[in-house]
Amino acid sequence: MYSKVTQKMSQLPPGYPKEMLDSIRLEFMKSEKTIVVLDDDPTGTQTCYDVPVLTSWHTTLIAEELRKKPSILFVLTNSRSLGVGEAVKLTLEVGKNVRDASAESGREIVVISRSDSTLRGHFPAEVEAIANALDMNDAVRVLVPAFIEGGRFTIDDVHYIVENEELVPVSDTPFARDVVFGYRHADLKMWVEEKSGGRVSASEVVSISLNEIRVGGPTVVSDKLKGCRPGGTCVVNAASYRDLEVFVMGILLAEKSGQKFLYRTSATFVPLRAGLVSGKTFIPRKEDTDSAYGSLVIVGSFVPKTSSQLNWLLSHGAFRTIEVNVLEILNAESVGLRLDGIIHQTNRWLASGEHVVIYTSRKLEAGHDSASSLRINAIVSEFLVRIVKGLSVRPGCIIAKGGITSSDLASKGLSAEKAMVLGAVLPGVPVWRMDIKSKFPDILYVVFPGNVGDDMALAEVFKRLTG
């Protein structure tokens, strides 16, 4: 039996009474820094707006963007699609390039490792790689998985997901049974011990409680942070934007005393760290939705929520559909013929103004271990990439469902090194405008996380983006 959200929230101390965002913004502007977000899949942009995102990470490109002095710069690593060894190697490379770009541009940086609010990802390996690349091994590792827009809250050190108005510990959800990133604990202290293989014990992890945030305020938070040992780990409780604002102000106070921090967070934390409002809504203009060609939806995510959203979409609209049978892709020698047929048919339908939904078969094909499961994911993603690369007709817009899917389609399918995040069309669902050098210049591209939204969300996004 789980607690009702309203009941649990009513038992918490009242929120801190003072608004913090303007003060955070002022402090951040005075620091003249850019927050560089290393994002392990593209859904981390879901709370930001009017910020650039890079799908490539060579030093010259990063330095070029830093010279423009943005408040926030995303670098999409897509490392969640890799095994841990490859992810660490990649993160070291990106971290060193970011360090060199900072020196080359003369722009100081704050680095955030953005990852999944349901605790899937390479932790602590990626954070340790960043610490090594930036020579920040003494920095406190700050874990903030609360994702307010998606109903992900941390209370009494336990991380919850809101489902049917109940608070469900993440360890009781399908995300905890992920074939690659599964875990047993929703208590973040125990989770850190589990994920670190016991190198960091639960008793060593410092916790910033909601009582300290809501009653004590920034000063108490700062004092707690200043007491963290070099290289230690700190987990943060949060159930509202204001909780995170208070925590950020505490961080800023602690930094003035010389304390250093590396962050592993959800998307909500990113704009708040810069003193920006989280989750500005993107409203498409008429010229964005007015196209003679059909729009394209590509669904690669296998989580149950995605399948429910796909079923709703297909039963509430007129679409041409193509199912990509995963087993056929993995086993068939004639994949090329199947690919050519899909590309030809999709081009023909789009040119005639018909909307197309391409989706992978809904049965999850898992390998015998995490490495083989990741290889299967890579093969499927590469097949979807080849479809987009083969298109000769520009869709009205593209909606990509799933983190790995949307990352690979943007960087490989559309050959884009850069995009601009315009805002969220629905909470947690960002819209990008692709760079003029991409395959389809300036096209609207929706990065739709697999685990966000209700059953009607995919259909609602499609409706808004197609007018």
pLDDT, residue 30, reads: 94
User: Could you give the percent of the chain with pLDDT greater than 90?
Assistant: 79
Mean pLDDT of 387-401: 96
Spatial CA neighbour of 77 closest among 53, 60, 100, 59: 53
Q: Which residues of 156-176 are buried (b: 16+ CB within 10 A; e: fewer)?
A: ebbbbbeeeeebbebbebebb
Report which of residues 305 and 115 the model is more confident about.
115
pLDDT, residue 377, reads: 79
pLDDT, residue 4, reads: 95
pTM (global) more than 0.75: yes
Q: Choose the weakest-confidence range: 78-82, 168-172, 194-198, 273-277.
A: 78-82
pLDDT digit string, tens, across residues 117-127: 999 999 999 99
- Residues 418 and 447: their CA atoms lie apart, in Å, by 14
Bond preceding residue 124 cis, omega within 30 of 0: yes
**Distance of CA 183 to CAs 120, 259, 266, 350, 415, Å?**
9, 31, 18, 42, 35
- Whether 232 has a pLDDT exceeding 70, the answer reads yes
Question: Exposure of 249 by Cβ count < 10 A (0-12 exposed, 13-18 middle, 19+ buried)?
Answer: buried
pLDDT, residue 352, reads: 97
- Whether 418 has a pLDDT exceeding 80, the answer reads yes
Mean pLDDT of 428-455: 92
pLDDT digit string, tens, across residues 242-285: 999 999 999 999 999 999 999 999 999 999 999 998 878 899 88
pLDDT, residue 238, reads: 98
Contact present, 458 and 359 (Cβ < 8 Å): no
pLDDT digit string, tens, across residues 442-452: 999 999 988 78
Q: Choose the weakest-confidence range: 14-18, 170-174, 281-285.
A: 281-285
pLDDT, residue 365, reads: 67
Tell me which range, 46-50, 89-93, 372-376, is most confidently predicted by mean pLDDT.
89-93
pLDDT digit string, tens, across residues 187-207: 999 999 999 999 999 999 999
pLDDT, residue 36, reads: 98
pLDDT digit string, tens, across residues 338-365: 899 999 999 999 999 999 999 988 777 6
Spatial CA neighbour of 61 closest among 75, 48, 51: 75
Mean pLDDT of 48-57: 94
pLDDT digit string, tens, across residues 297-350: 999 887 788 899 999 999 998 899 999 988 888 877 768 788 999 999 999 999
pLDDT, residue 378, reads: 81
- Whether 405 has a pLDDT exceeding 90, the answer reads no
Mean pLDDT of 378-383: 86
Contact present, 268 and 148 (Cβ < 8 Å): yes
Mean pLDDT of 164-170: 95
- Whether 376 has a pLDDT exceeding 90, the answer reads no
pLDDT, residue 302, reads: 77
Report which of residues 113 and 305 the model is more confident about.
113
- Residues 37 and 267: their CA atoms lie apart, in Å, by 10
Q: Choose the weakest-confidence range: 79-83, 160-164, 170-174, 190-194.
A: 79-83
- Whether 43 has a pLDDT exceeding 90, the answer reads no
Average pLDDT, the chain: 93
Which residues, at least 6 apart from 283, have a Cβ–Cβ distance to it below 8 Å? Answer: none
